[in-house]
């Protein structure tokens, strides 16, 4: 996979690329990454890439010429162009899985008050991290890249991501490690039982319990078995007592 980020601040990604799992994956050749500064593509004097909006209003707007010229310099038939915008579809784990299968992801990071509207039609997808506004698209691009890259084969062990929150539409079950007893708080004994089927069942039920408590909306679309439904019904009955 190759990732290209069009940005005014390519240095923003230095720490991301040189830290921990992402750094090792890059060194292993699992992906290529380029942060391309689109300011040199401007035809304006003094390197301007923004201008005041037609019709008036506060702030400055990114001009289409430098950004689109930069885009065309790196876009290929294999590129998936992603415009980062609070108006986009919310980025989810399912989105990360879909994008992890692409050959070339090309992120466009905005800044200032917004984009010239003519930029939008050049994007294949518009994505947002959520219902809030950032100072620029760089933080969103970094988060999305992290979520996508960890799904590439070889980045982490497959079994390490299999039980992640949202991997099966639910929140992850509780995790514990040593010590067994910390100031009176102990690890559930079932996790020390060695009975793999009982442990699997406990984890599934705790995942359901946590999702029901913290993100009940996820249950509406989760793939639930008959035993899952019965367990959730038992929790509802407990609440009614």
**β-strands 2-7, 79-90 pairing:** unpaired
Residues noted as catalytic = 86, 113, 150, 164
Q: Is the peptide bond before 115 cis (omega within 30 degrees of 0)?
A: no
CA 236 vs CA 182, 200, 233, 240: distances in Å = 32, 22, 5, 6
Alpha-carbon span 175 to 10, nearest angstrom: 37
Crossing angle for the helix pair 226-240 and 196-214, to the nearest 10 degrees: 60
DSSP-derived secondary structure letter, 191:
G
């Amino acid at each position: 996979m190759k990732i290209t980020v069009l940005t005014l601040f390519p240095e923003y990604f230095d720490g991301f690329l040189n830290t921990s799992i992402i750094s090792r994956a890059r060194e292993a050749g699992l992906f290529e990454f380029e942060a391309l500064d689109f300011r040199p593509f401007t035809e304006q004097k003094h390197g301007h890439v923004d201008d005041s909006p037609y019709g008036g209003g506060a702030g400055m707007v990114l001009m289409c010429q430098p950004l689109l010229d930069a885009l065309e310099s790196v876009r290929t038939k294999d590129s998936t162009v992603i415009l980062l915008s609070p108006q986009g579809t919310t980025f989810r784990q399912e989105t990360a899985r879909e994008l992890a299968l692409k050959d070339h992801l090309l992120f466009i990071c905005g800044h200032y008050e917004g984009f010239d509207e003519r930029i939008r039609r050049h994007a294949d997808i518009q994505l947002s991290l959520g219902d809030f506004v950032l100072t620029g698209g760089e933080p969103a691009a970094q988060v999305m890249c992290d979520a996508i890259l960890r799904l590439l084969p070889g980045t982490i062990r497959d079994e390490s991501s299999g039980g992640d929150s949202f991997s099966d539409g639910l929140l992850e079950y509780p995790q514990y490690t040593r010590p067994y007893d910390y100031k009176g708080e102990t690890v559930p004994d079932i996790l020390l039982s060695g009975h793999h089927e009982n442990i699997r069942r406990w984890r599934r039920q705790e995942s359901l319990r946590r999702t029901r408590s913290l993100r009940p909306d996820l249950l509406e679309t989760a793939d639930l078995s008959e035993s899952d439904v019965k367990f959730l019904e038992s929790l509802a009955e407990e609440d009614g007592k």
